[in-house]
Amino acid sequence: MNEVLSDSKTYIEVFKEITQIKAFFATKNSSKPGWPFYNEELFAEVGLADAVHVGHWQTHSDNVQIITQEMVDRCRAGDFVLEYPDDIEEKKKFTSEEYNGGGILFLDSDGAITDIPGVLLTSMHADCIPLFFYDPVKQVIAMVHSGWKGTVKEIGRITSEKMQSVYGCKASDILVHIGPGISKCCFQVDKDVYEMFRDPSFTTKGIKYYIDLKHYNKRMLMETGITEEHITVSDHCTCCETDLFDSYRRDGSKQRMGGGICILPVVE
Ligand SMILES: [Zn+2]
């Protein structure tokens, strides 16, 4: 499995064997309330205290952002970069004082892609599935929040396709880790939700409806050309494992666990 629990039990390291990037999923020991996911102690612990932070006001959308050099340069110069769609309500705009730590923040957004070293892409979760992407050939990363709504909207597919169209990634080079999230054991849904999935036939148990979001995402990603051997899937269920994870489904938790991925700057 492509995950290792840190000695401090504050995060699960993802893609540990890959030295060019750092990727993690926070446990309940380092989760935070509110949004976006921002935990300075954890960022320092994983060696990313100086990274440019990218966060989202997540809306279960299929919006995946491209992090540009211009945005990163503005951040490095001390600006807070706030991006939002033209039609977003006025009240959802807010100032850097209301936001932890500066960086780049997108409103109405659930994923980001970059090829710029030193940029920490984050997402936040309380059962929804984190998708970690890495292309070792083009040195491109992506971090995505894919709950059931995002999965129905196929945000994972959109991310894979954008990595290919914008960055010239070959699907056959892309590695994906489908991280900790609510698993089939716990994700019982109503029939109307069940029927929104293209092919939910593998998920019935009698008259109850269960969705396997991890499997569904894996199949979707394979349809974009990513190979099965390049996709790893977490065994962790955030709803079952009370010692390690917060869960909205289990106890209505307001705590949010962060996913993060960053290309490490090359030390000259
Ligand atoms: Zn479970």
Compute, in angstroms, the gap from residue 189 CA to the centroid of ligand 1. 13
Compute, in angstroms, the gap from residue 214 CA to the centroid of ligand 1: 12
Cα of 247 vs centre of ligand 1, distance in Å, is 10
Nearest to 218 by CA among 205, 204, 234: 234
The per-residue pLDDT for range 120-153, each reduced to its tens digit, is: 999 999 999 999 999 999 999 999 999 999 999 9
Find the 180 Cα to ligand 1 centroid distance in Å.
10
Contact 113, 163 (CB under 8 A): yes
Residue with tokens 């984190």: 130
Q: Which domain holds residue 60?
A: 3-263
Domain count along the chain: 1
CATH code at position 187: 3.60.140.10
CA of 187 to the centre of ligand 1 (A): 7
Average pLDDT (160-177) is 98
Ligand 1 centre to CA of 169 (Å) is: 34
pLDDT tens digits for range 223-242 = 999 999 999 999 999 999 99
Helix axis angle for 155-167 and 213-223, nearest 10°, is 30
Ligand 1 center to residue 30 CA distance, Å?
21
Residue 268 lies in a domain: no
* Spatial CA neighbour of 153 closest among 106, 213, 209: 213
**pTM of structure:** 0.94
